[in-house]
Amino acid sequence: MIFTIFKKELTDTLRDRRTIIAMIVVPILVFPIILGLSTSVSKYFDDKQKEEVLKVALISEDTDNQFTQRLSAIPDSLGPKELIFRQDTIGLKKEISEDSLQLAIVIPADFDQQQKENQQSTIQVFHKGVNLGNKDRVEGYVSIIENTLLEDRFERLSLDKQLIDPINEQYVDISSKKEVIGKVAGGFLPYLFIIFGFIGCMYPAIDLFTGEKERKTLETLLTTPVPRWKILVGKMLVISLSGIAAAVFALVGMFAGLRLFNLVDIPGINEIIDGILTPSFIVGLLILLIPLTIFFAGIMIPATIYAKSFKEAQSVLTPVNFIIFLPAIIGMLPNIELDYTTAFIPIVNIVLATKEMVAGTIDFVLLGISYLVMVIFAALSILFSYKRFGRESNIVS
DSSP string, 206-261: IIIIIIHHHTT-HHHHHTSSS-HHHHHHHHHHHHHHHHHHHHHHHHHHHHHHHHTS
What is the distance between the alpha carbons of residues 267 and 246, in angstroms, rounded to a whole number?
Answer: 30
Q: Which residues pair with 56 in a beta bridge?
A: 83, 103
pLDDT, greater one: 344 or 61? 344
State pLDDT tens for residues 171-180. 777 766 666 6
Q: Is the pLDDT of residue 285 over 70?
A: yes
Top pLDDT among 84 and 133 is at 84
Cβ pair 52, 135 in contact under 8 A: no
Least-confidence region, from 37-46, 64-73, 110-119, 365-374: 37-46
Write down the pLDDT at residue 50.
Answer: 67
Annotated domain spans of the chain: 2-36+177-395, 52-164
For 338-380, write each residue's pLDDT tens digit.
889 989 988 888 888 888 887 777 888 999 999 999 999 999 9
52-164 CATH pick, 3.90.120, 3.40.190, 1.10.3470, 3.10.450: 3.40.190
Phi-psi region of 338 (alpha: psi -120 to 50; beta: other; left: phi over 0): beta
- The pTM assigned to this predicted structure is 0.66
Provide the 3-class DSSP secondary structure of residue 124: strand
Q: Which residues contact 251 (CB under 8 A, 6 or more apart)?
A: 189, 192, 193, 285
Number of other CB atoms surrounding residue 153 within 10 Å:
13
